[in-house]
Amino acid sequence: MNHLTELERDSLCELFNISLGGAAKLMSEMISDEILLTVPSLKLITESEAKNFENLANKDVCTVEQKFVGDIGNGSAFLLFHKSASLEIVKMMMKDYVALNEVSQFEKDALSEIGNIILNAILSNLAKMSNYKIETQIPEFFSGKYEELLLNRNPNSNEDNSILLVFIDYQLKGKEIKGYIFFILNFDSIKNLSRVLIEKLK
């Protein structure tokens, strides 16, 4: 089983902490209200383990995917929320400007904007902290069943891929919504990235 040392995990956690802190600030400015994003945990799992993760296989979810290529390798970053949570986020963002029965019409644009902010923050900080050259594609929004969206759409899916999973809490006005960031990349690339970050963070 592929695994990371505690120091390697800590270096990756620091990357996500820095990135999500910046993303929360941008999002707070966007909606004129404070948003808190935290990184309570991080784990490395296989694609097989991801298929059965937290019984999500048959659940309706919304994802924003951003593909990337570069010195780090080819991979995908996903921001994922349960369907019910995604609609709650849209209500937060739209405040009282949209009737409740119209919220779903704005789901794609609102979540795409959030995904763009969060995933770009992570990948741009990754490039900055590692000195890697990384090219990203325009984020894409998808809504449907978890397994179909996260795993079957991944063009780089193979037995060598690992998934770096980050749990995030999205808080606004006392509401707490759990989300997930899936960073799909082969294990050697994740391992090398963590080692580079260790050197940069010394």
Q: At what angle do helices 187-200 and 6-31 cross, to 10 degrees?
A: 80
* Chain segment 17-46, per-residue pLDDT in tens: 888 888 878 777 776 677 777 766 788 888
pTM here is 0.82
Domains of the chain: which residue ranges?
Answer: 6-84+111-200
pLDDT at res. 134: 92
Q: Which two tokens stand for residue 109?
A: 């644009």
pLDDT at res. 68: 92
User: What's the rounded Cα separation, in Å, for the pair 44 and 93?
Assistant: 31
Instruction: Return the CATH number of 6-84+111-200, one of 3.40.50.300, 3.40.1550.10, 3.30.300.160, 3.30.1490.190.
Output: 3.40.1550.10
Mean pLDDT, 10 residues at a time, the chain of 202 residues? 83 87 78 70 81 78 90 88 78 63 70 86 88 90 82 54 80 73 87 87 70
